[in-house]
């Protein structure tokens, strides 16, 4: 690992346990590269189940005091942490783009979003009210307390290396829990930079622990987090298959679980929609992060009366607005995909669709910028049976199919085991209500393509997950309800 190193004041090449920078017990490390250029950014410890067990024990010790720190003080630490992140925003964004690839402007947006969770949950901590329930018996009083769950195990993905950490960890920390978190192997540096700033903010040792691991060791770390009885809650964002594995592994210790899994978002454009607004919404929801978010539009369903106008306008706007390149270069709107395997998968879905009758309006091939780049692609004449309709594309491919009636669109939209985000554009108020209610999704965008917000609940139904993150609901996920009945009154 003697290659050219990426220089950053916030680049830390050790894991973070008990407030210290530590190596794996085995001494092993793994490499982290820039997906746009293939350059080596550095190495981090390749930890395993045994390292994870030590981190869990540390978090357990820290929990004994952190749980009793008054909410106002927890809030103050989180406030200092968010201020430090704000001061370091440009460097956090540059680091994020370098390890993950998204354009710098999007990385800045993500860092802002990440900071907003630190701030929000610090504020929410002070409002974790209990209840006093009117008692049916005059000799008893009935109280409800909300208490921190305990040590929380977390596993996060590479597509939001900063905000997925704060959305989970800050909810837990604000509630009085302590955390052992494994970031994605592609993007550990954003997580480690957050640890350094947490340390500077005065977050006590052991409250936030980050164990880094290669893909090969991820199952061993995950198994320990799921099976160790000290850990009381597991929170995961990633693929549905991995989520199911973690749920199975958590069964024997009856852990609470929050799961943010895959999606297959429908994006429906009805005849009554404003074409330009629908195209703008589709651009935002499809091409953010080069199509690599779990809420990206996956199946674009367009009613026959507006179909030709929508396709024409979307193609024009794609050609005008999308610029493929290194995320650090000014003007880039489409960075690389995370790795070569992702490009192969996206190309496989496009080739399959074309073989089955889909038409390529633009793109449809790998990009000459490098092995991790793919041309923004517009496919028409897509059908519900094609793999690009049944699988999560996770790339810059807009796949369009035609429908005739509202009933047909809803039937297609809901015919999936996933239920994360769904979008539709309509100018008809009755239809807006009906479709909002009938879409079997945890998040619905009605005439809006960007719906995530710190203040709102995020999460899916069906096989897209369990629980909600963000908003007032996000804090509840890390608290137990305790009922106290006082007698003898």
Enzyme catalytic residues: 260, 294
Q: Which of 68, 110, 140, 104 is nearest to 484 (CA)?
A: 140
Nearer to ligand ADP, 55 or 155 (CB): 155
Q: Which residues pair with 153 in a beta bridge?
A: 180, 234
Nearer to ligand ADP, 114 or 281 (CB): 114
Nearest approach, Cβ of residue 439 and ligand ADP (Å): 24
Residue nearest to ligand ADP (CB): 222
- Touching ligand ADP, residues 132-161 (CB under 6 A): 155-157
Nearer to ligand ADP, 229 or 305 (CB): 229
The enclosing H or E element of 314 equals helix 307-321
Segment contacting ligand ADP by CB under 6 A, of 116-124, 215-223, 269-277, 447-455:
215-223
Exactly one of 37, 112, 245, 272 binds ligand ADP (CB under 6 A); that residue is 245
Exactly one of 109, 130, 219, 457 binds ligand ADP (CB under 6 A); that residue is 219
The answer to whether residues 211 and 44 touch, using CB atoms and an 8 Å cutoff, is no
The answer to whether residues 456 and 434 touch, using CB atoms and an 8 Å cutoff, is no
- Give the count of beta carbons closer than 10 Å to the beta carbon of residue 115: 24
Helix (H, G, I), strand (E, B) or coil at 372: coil
Nearest approach, Cβ of residue 103 and ligand ADP (Å): 19
The answer to whether residues 68 and 90 touch, using CB atoms and an 8 Å cutoff, is no
Question: If binding is defined by CB under 6 A, does position 263 make contact with ligand ADP?
Answer: no
**Cα 447 off chain centre by:** 23
Nearer to ligand ADP, 268 or 338 (CB): 338
Question: If binding is defined by CB under 6 A, does position 184 make contact with ligand ADP?
Answer: yes
Segment contacting ligand ADP by CB under 6 A, of 216-224, 309-317, 328-336, 461-469:
216-224
Segment contacting ligand ADP by CB under 6 A, of 179-187, 192-200, 275-283, 470-478:
179-187
Question: If binding is defined by CB under 6 A, does position 339 make contact with ligand ADP?
Answer: no
Vertex 294 angle, CA 290 and 296, to 5°:
50
Vertex 399 angle, CA 396 and 400, to 5°:
145
Vertex 146 angle, CA 140 and 151, to 5°:
135
Segment contacting ligand ADP by CB under 6 A, of 31-39, 235-243, 310-318, 475-483:
235-243
CA distance 32 to 216: 14
Nearest approach, Cβ of residue 235 and ligand ADP (Å): 12
Segment contacting ligand ADP by CB under 6 A, of 119-127, 162-170, 211-219, 375-383:
211-219
Segment contacting ligand ADP by CB under 6 A, of 24-32, 59-67, 87-95, 214-222:
214-222
The answer to whether residues 459 and 243 touch, using CB atoms and an 8 Å cutoff, is no
Exactly one of 18, 23, 239, 339 binds ligand ADP (CB under 6 A); that residue is 239
The enclosing H or E element of 57 equals helix 49-66
Where are the extended beta strands (E) located within 338-396? 359-362, 377-380
Nearer to ligand ADP, 25 or 215 (CB): 215
Question: If binding is defined by CB under 6 A, does position 471 make contact with ligand ADP?
Answer: no
Exactly one of 238, 376, 460, 465 binds ligand ADP (CB under 6 A); that residue is 238
Q: Which of 196, 1, 10 is nearest to 94 (CA)?
A: 10
Q: Determine whether 245 is exposed, middle or buried from the number of CB atoms within 10 Å of its CB (0-12, 13-18, 19+).
A: middle
Phi, psi of 39 (to 5 degrees): -65, 145
Nearest approach, Cβ of residue 261 and ligand ADP (Å): 8
Q: How many CA atoms lie within 13 A of 456 on its CB side?
A: 11
Count of residues that bind ligand ADP according to CB under 6 A: 14
Q: Tokens at residue 79, please?
A: 């406030």
Question: If binding is defined by CB under 6 A, does position 218 make contact with ligand ADP?
Answer: yes
Nearest approach, Cβ of residue 247 and ligand ADP (Å): 11
Exactly one of 35, 122, 222, 422 binds ligand ADP (CB under 6 A); that residue is 222
Nearest approach, Cβ of residue 139 and ligand ADP (Å): 51
Q: Which residues bind ligand ADP (CB under 6 A)?
A: 155-157, 182, 184-185, 215, 218-219, 222, 238-239, 242, 245
């Amino acid at each position: 690992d003697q290659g050219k190193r990426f220089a950053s004041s916030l680049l830390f090449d050790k894991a973070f346990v008990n407030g210290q920078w530590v190596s794996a017990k085995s001494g092993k490390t793994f490499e982290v590269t820039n997906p746009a250029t293939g350059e080596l950014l550095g190495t981090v410890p390749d930890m395993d189940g045994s390292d994870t067990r030590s981190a869990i024990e540390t978090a357990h010790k820290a929990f004994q005091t952190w749980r009793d720190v008054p909410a106002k003080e927890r809030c103050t630490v989180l406030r200092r942490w968010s201020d430090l992140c704000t001061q370091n925003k440009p460097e956090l964004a540059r680091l994020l783009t370098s390890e993950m690839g998204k354009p710098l402007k999007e990385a800045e947006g993500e860092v802002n979003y990440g900071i907003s969770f630190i701030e929000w949950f610090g504020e929410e901590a002070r409002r974790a009210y209990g209840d006093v329930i009117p008692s049916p018996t005059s000799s008893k009083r009935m109280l409800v307390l909300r208490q921190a769950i305990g040590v929380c195990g977390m596993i996060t993905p590479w597509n939001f290396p900063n905000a997925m950490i704060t959305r989970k960890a800050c909810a837990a920390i604000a509630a009085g829990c302590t955390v052992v978190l494994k970031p994605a192997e592609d993007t550990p540096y954003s997580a480690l930079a957050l640890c350094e700033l947490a340390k500077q903010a005065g977050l006590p040792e052991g409250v936030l622990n980050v164990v880094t691991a290669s893909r090969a060791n991820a199952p061993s770390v995950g198994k320990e987090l799921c099976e160790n009885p000290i850990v009381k809650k597991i929170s995961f964002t990633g693929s549905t298959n991995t989520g199911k594995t973690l749920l199975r592994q958590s069964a024997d210790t009856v852990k609470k679980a929050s799961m943010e899994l895959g999606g297959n978002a429908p994006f429906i454009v009805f005849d009554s929609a404003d074409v330009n607004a629908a195209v703008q919404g589709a651009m935002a929801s499809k091409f953010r992060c080069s199509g690599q978010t779990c809420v990206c539009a996956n199946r674009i369903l367009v009613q026959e009366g507006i179909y030709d106008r929508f396709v024409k306008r979307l193609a024009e706007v794609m050609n005008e607005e999308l610029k493929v390149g290194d995320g650090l270069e000014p003007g880039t709107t489409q960075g690389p995909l995370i790795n070569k395997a992702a490009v192969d998968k996206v190309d496989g879905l496009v080739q399959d669709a074309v073989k089955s009758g889909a038409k390529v309006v633009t793109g449809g091939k790998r990009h000459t910028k490098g092995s991790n780049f793919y041309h923004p692609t517009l496919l028409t004449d897509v059908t519900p049976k094609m793999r690009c309709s049944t699988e999560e594309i996770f790339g810059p491919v807009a796949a369009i199919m035609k429908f005739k009636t509202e009933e047909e669109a809803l039937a297609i939209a809901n015919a999936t085991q996933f239920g994360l985000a769904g979008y539709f554009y309509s100018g008809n108020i009755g239809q807006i209500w009906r479709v909002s209610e009938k879409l079997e999704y945890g998040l619905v965008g009605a005439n809006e393509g960007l719906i995530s917000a710190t203040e709102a609940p995020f999460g899916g139904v069906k096989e897209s997950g369990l629980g909600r993150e963000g908003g007032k609901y996000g804090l509840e996920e890390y608290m137990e309800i305790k009922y106290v009945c006082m007698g003898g009154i």
